[in-house]
Structure 1
Amino acid sequence: MPRVRLNILGNGVREVEVAEGARVADVLREAGLLSTEYVVVKGGRVVAEDEPVADGDELILYPVVSGG
């Protein structure tokens, strides 16, 4: 099973195991995180929920900030 490293800014780093063919949305779901609460960066670029992930990938999660 592929292992993906999550670097959650402000909340540390952890690894998540996902099934072959997994996408960013699957990683977030497996980690118990909501995609609406983070901007996900992979390989230096912002990626969408349907971006495929592979064993050894690192996703950097930036919390979404809103307000006025």
Structure 2
Amino acid sequence: MTEREEQILACIRHSIAERGQGSTMVEIGAAVGLRSKGTVAYHLRNLQERGVLVHGGRGWRSYRPAR
């Protein structure tokens, strides 16, 4: 896993712990220094393909850590 992907995963975990739901792509991008939602989506898909994230619904906030 890349450093950026670790930052994204930490951002999602923090958001779930604080608010009970995942972050939006804009929130994730702002937290890790990415301006493109496409780049955030790319990293989220990579994490999902590796089994690190589970997409449990239709929206971006529905990503959850698998472990």
Report the TM range for the smaller structure's normalisation. 0.3 to 0.5
Q: Name the structure where helix makes up a greater proportion of residues.
A: 2
TM-score under structure 1 normalisation?
A: 0.36
Kindly indicate whether structure 1 or structure 2 has the higher relative contact order, using CA contacts under 8 Å at least 6 residues apart. Answer: 1
Larger radius of gyration: 1
